[in-house]
């Protein structure tokens, strides 16, 4: 068996969050990252253990396969790169959720069904869409999903994800530049404008601070600032 470790280190954030809020964001991001890792490694004869410090997430892999150490390292490097992007997303979503939670219920209503969602998308698109074709709205059989498919220009929404904020989030993806990836600076700017107009101006201003959440949004290239892989290969051992 082989044991390898990857570490993500998050630099100090310049965002307007209290120490308590930042602690919550890191804890929530860690939980989501662990769930994602569980999904990725299911059935691959690889066990893992995650731990979180004040500004770091540790991920230790233990493989039950008798494999070439170099192959194991290469596999971890690939997974580490994938996880780096995912680590950014988990931090961004946790911070965004914290801002959304400050909405009053009447500012962030839930829409009932595809007709109401499409009407709201049309309202926003008429003002902000320019010459871009309006995205097609679809309801997913998965309840807890909200996703914009760039290649198809479709917004996919689950029945548990119909809040105004969520719809604006997906519209922001649709309005963003085709060259942008994920939750980069231009996406944040668009979301800030839409939240200010359709939910709450003060919260829209707070969304702007997500441009610098843990220093992770840099030149539209999401990913933790500092990452490292420790691969002190040990002799096969029993776990």
Every domain of the chain and the residues it spans: 2-101+221-230, 110-199
Q: Are strands 2-9 and 136-139 parallel, antiparallel or unpaired?
A: unpaired
- Cα 222 from Cα 119, distance rounded (Å): 32
Give the predicted TM-score (pTM) of the model.
0.75
Confidence of residue 25 (pLDDT cuts 50, 70, 90): confident
Residue with the two structure tokens 């170099």: 70
Contact 11, 214 (CB under 8 A): yes
Q: How many residues does the chain have?
A: 239
Q: What is the mean pLDDT of residues 84-90?
A: 69
Per-residue confidence (pLDDT) for residue 220, from 0 to 100: 39
Kindly tell me the burial class for residue 22, based on how many C-beta atoms sit within 10 Å of its own C-beta (0-12, 13-18, 19 or more). buried
- Cα 195 from Cα 59, distance rounded (Å): 35
Q: How many CA atoms lie within 13 A of 137 on its CB side?
A: 22
The correct CATH number of 110-199 out of 3.30.2010, 1.20.58, 3.90.320, 1.10.287 is 3.30.2010
**pLDDT per position as a tens digit, 123-177:** 999 999 999 999 999 999 888 899 999 999 999 999 999 999 999 999 999 999 8
Write out the DSSP string of the chain: -EEEEEEEEPPPP-SS--HHHHHHHHHHHHHHHHHHHHHHHTTTTEEEEEEE-SSEEEEEEEE-S---HHHHHHHHHHHHHHHHHHHHHHHHHHHHHHHHTTS-GGGSPBP-HHHHHHHHHHHHHHHH-TTSPPPEEEE-SSTT-EEEETTTTEEEE-TT--BHHHHHHHHHHHHS-TT--SS-HHHHHHHHHHHHHHT-HHHHHHHHGGGGGGG---TT--S-SEEEEE---------
The mean pLDDT of the chain is 75
**Listed range (35-39, 40-44, 202-206) with the worst mean pLDDT:** 40-44
CATH topology of domain 2-101+221-230: Alpha-Beta Plaits (3.30.70)
Structure tokens, 125: 């698109």
Which residues lie across from 154 on neighbouring strands? Answer: 136, 149
Distances in Å between the Cα of 54 and the Cα atoms of 22, 112, 216 are: 10, 41, 16
**pLDDT per position as a tens digit, 65-78:** 555 556 655 665 66
Confidence of residue 225 (pLDDT cuts 50, 70, 90): very low
């Amino acid at each position: 068996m082989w044991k390898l470790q990857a570490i993500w280190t998050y630099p100090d954030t310049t965002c307007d969050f209290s120490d308590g809020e930042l602690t919550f964001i890191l804890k929530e991001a860690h939980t989501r990252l662990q769930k994602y890792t569980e999904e990725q490694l299911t059935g691959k004869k690889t066990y893992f253990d995650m731990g979180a410090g004040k500004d770091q997430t540790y991920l230790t892999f233990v493989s039950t396969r008798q494999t070439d150490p170099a192959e194991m390292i290469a596999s971890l490097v690939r997974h580490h790169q994938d996880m780096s992007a995912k680590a950014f997303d988990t931090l961004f979503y946790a911070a965004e959720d914290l801002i959304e939670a400050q909405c009053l219920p009447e500012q962030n209503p839930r829409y009932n069904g595809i007709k109401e969602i499409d009407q709201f998308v049309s309202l926003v698109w008429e003002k902000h869409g320019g010459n871009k074709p309006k995205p097609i709205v679809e309801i997913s059989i998965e309840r807890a999903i909200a996703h914009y498919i760039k290649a198809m220009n479709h917004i996919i929404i689950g029945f548990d994800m119909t809040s105004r904020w969520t719809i604006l989030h997906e519209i922001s993806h649709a309005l963003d530049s085709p060259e942008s990836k994920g939750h980069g600076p231009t996406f944040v700017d668009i979301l800030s404008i839409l939240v200010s107009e359709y939910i709450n101006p003060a919260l829209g201003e707070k969304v702007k601070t997500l441009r610098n959440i843990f220093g992770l949004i840099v030149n539209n290239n999401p990913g933790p600032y500092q990452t490292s892989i420790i691969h002190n290969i040990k002799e096969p051992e029993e776990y």
